[in-house]
Amino acid sequence: MRIRPHASIGALVTAAALAVSGCGIGGNTGTAAPQGEITGEVTGEITFQTWNLKADYSEYFNGVIAAFEKEHPGATVKWLDQPAEGYAEKLSVDAAAGELPDVVNVAPDLVYPLAKAELVLDIDEARPEASKAYLPDAWSGFAMPGRSGTYAYPWYLNTGPIFYNRALFEQAGLDPDAPPTSYDELFDQAITMAEATDGEIAMLGQTPGIVDLGLYGSQLMNEDGTAFTFNDAAAVEMIQRYKEMYDAGALVPESLTQDYTGSGEQFMSEAIAWAPGSAYDLDNFRTNAPSLYKNVGITEVLTNTGQAHMYLQGLAVSARTSHPATATAFAEFVTNAENQEAFAHEVQIFPSTVGSLDDPYFTEEDGTDEGRVRVAAATQLATATNYTPVRFSDQMQNILRNEIALAMRGDKTPRQALDAAVDECNSLLDTE
């Protein structure tokens, strides 16, 4: 799936959740799953499914497949590509019917129900040495709560810097060369901006989501992943600070509405001064908002943990594949350092392989805005982690958002709102 970060502060949009309940995914479908380490001859035909990549990257993937088939003359790869819309549902239907592709593009939340139903391989068991090739936090991103092992090869990664509007900072009497470097600075400058402009300019365009709470230092789930805990002191403090900003006019009121789509359009129209993004957005600003583009500043994601958020994609291997040696070999081939680095030159993503981010392409700016964003993002990814719990569904996201909106309006205290969100989300966990 093409990665286009667009979310609340420091957060990146994840794939739509694929919940076990209601999806009809069951285990023990088709042939028995391989047990233990997978070895053997790389031969036979396998299917490889990507997520909305064929239209733009056919030449790259056809080249990768051809190279693999040349290296393994007895193997054939049939490439499938599914549109972004409905991908989770398509994956669910295929899994329920026992027709999951041999190698399939997944995000951590998408692989969770497949792992729970034992429909994808535990890579730690199938290929015990494989983890050494990948960044530790990328590898652990495909570990599943309640299960040992890892259920997909890490593939490409992304994170994003923060964009801010230098002109709006100047208008509010803030130094555009000294953007906030901590949450306290952000909150204080946001209120200063609102007061200096009589509420005409807001710093922020969205209430915090689950990733933001994680970045702020909240422990989102207990250690064994069986219950949400994002009603701790850190989360309460963050929501209280947002309430103060909302009351001061530093957070746009539209962010509390049900149909609000996020801060991107607000930033484009120069109604807010601070928003997350990626190098994709620079092209959009250049084309569709030239007055904004000439005033865009770029800074790092804020975090109290020392780790930015990592958005990641992976390749899972069907536990029912007829050719496990070929499927695992192909997944490792697609995600090896050479192929990941080549893909990163095709599109603004980042490799998950050890040492790849040390390449000058990711460490040295080339004088372009895109290069500046790329280097900033790569620097963050070296220590980034995935904050989104794999069991945190779209329904849970809506619950959290609605409760935070009640806190912003003063209908509940931050503690009451988060307690209610945690209770409701945990009750949904019990129905899985």
- Asked if residue 142 and residue 75 are part of one domain, the reply reads yes
pLDDT, one tens digit per residue, over 151-173 is 999 999 999 889 999 999 999 99
Q: What percentage of the chain's residues is helix, strand, coil (to nearest 5)?
A: 45, 15, 45
Please tell me the distance from the alpha carbon of residue 227 to that of residue 312, in angstroms, as a whole number. 23
Domain-embedded: residue 7: no
The residue whose two tokens read 């962010």 is 255
- Asked if residue 269 and residue 416 are part of one domain, the reply reads yes
Domain-embedded: residue 381: no
Q: Do the beta carbons of residue 396 and residue 199 sit within 8 Å? A: no
Domain-embedded: residue 73: yes
pLDDT < 50 positions in the chain: 1-24, 26-30
Burial of 254 from C-beta contacts in 10 A (0-12 / 13-18 / 19+): middle
Output the pTM of the full model.
0.86
The residue whose two tokens read 């109604």 is 271
Please tell me the distance from the alpha carbon of residue 372 to that of residue 378, in angstroms, as a whole number. 10
- Nearest CA to 275 among 185, 160, 400, 189? 160
Burial of 290 from C-beta contacts in 10 A (0-12 / 13-18 / 19+): exposed
Domain-embedded: residue 393: yes
Domain-embedded: residue 239: yes
User: Which 3-state string (H, E, C) describes 188-256?
Assistant: HHHHHHHHHCCCCCECECCCCCHHHHHHHCCCCECCCCCCECCCCHHHHHHHHHHHHHHHHCCECHHHH
Domain-embedded: residue 127: yes
Q: Do the beta carbons of residue 405 and residue 414 sit within 8 Å? A: no
Please tell me the distance from the alpha carbon of residue 334 to that of residue 64, in angstroms, as a whole number. 7
How, if at all, do strands 162-165 and 296-299 pair?
antiparallel
**CATH assignment of the domain containing 354:** 3.40.190.10
Q: What is the largest CA-CA distance in the chain?
A: 71
Please tell me the distance from the alpha carbon of residue 317 to that of residue 132, in angstroms, as a whole number. 18
Please tell me the distance from the alpha carbon of residue 345 to that of residue 347, in angstroms, as a whole number. 6
Please tell me the distance from the alpha carbon of residue 421 to that of residue 231, in angstroms, as a whole number. 8
Q: What are phi and psi of 80, to 5 degrees?
A: -115, 145
CA distances from 278 to 122, 191, 206, 369 (A): 32, 26, 17, 11
- Asked if residue 148 and residue 83 are part of one domain, the reply reads yes
The residue whose two tokens read 């390749």 is 315
- Asked if residue 299 and residue 216 are part of one domain, the reply reads yes
Please tell me the distance from the alpha carbon of residue 329 to that of residue 369, in angstroms, as a whole number. 37
Q: Which two tokens stand for residue 295?
A: 């005033």
Please tell me the distance from the alpha carbon of residue 313 to that of residue 157, in angstroms, as a whole number. 6
- Asked if residue 58 and residue 148 are part of one domain, the reply reads yes
How, if at all, do strands 44-51 and 75-82 pair?
parallel
pLDDT, one tens digit per residue, over 333-363 is 999 999 999 999 998 899 999 999 999 999 9
- Asked if residue 293 and residue 189 are part of one domain, the reply reads yes
Domain-embedded: residue 3: no
Range of the domain at 398: 162-307+389-430
Domain-embedded: residue 36: no
- Asked if residue 409 and residue 361 are part of one domain, the reply reads no
**Predicted pLDDT at 107:** 94
- Asked if residue 212 and residue 286 are part of one domain, the reply reads yes
Q: Do the beta carbons of residue 391 and residue 213 sit within 8 Å? A: no
- Asked if residue 340 and residue 294 are part of one domain, the reply reads no
Report the domain count for the chain. Answer: 2
- Asked if residue 155 and residue 123 are part of one domain, the reply reads yes
- Asked if residue 247 and residue 124 are part of one domain, the reply reads no
- Asked if residue 141 and residue 75 are part of one domain, the reply reads yes
Cα angle 50, 332, 61 (rounded to 5 degrees) comes to 40
Q: Do the beta carbons of residue 14 and residue 5 sit within 8 Å? A: no
DSSP state of 132: G
**Predicted pLDDT at 410:** 97
3 state DSSP class of 420: helix
Q: Do the beta carbons of residue 265 and residue 256 sit within 8 Å? A: no
**Predicted pLDDT at 25:** 53
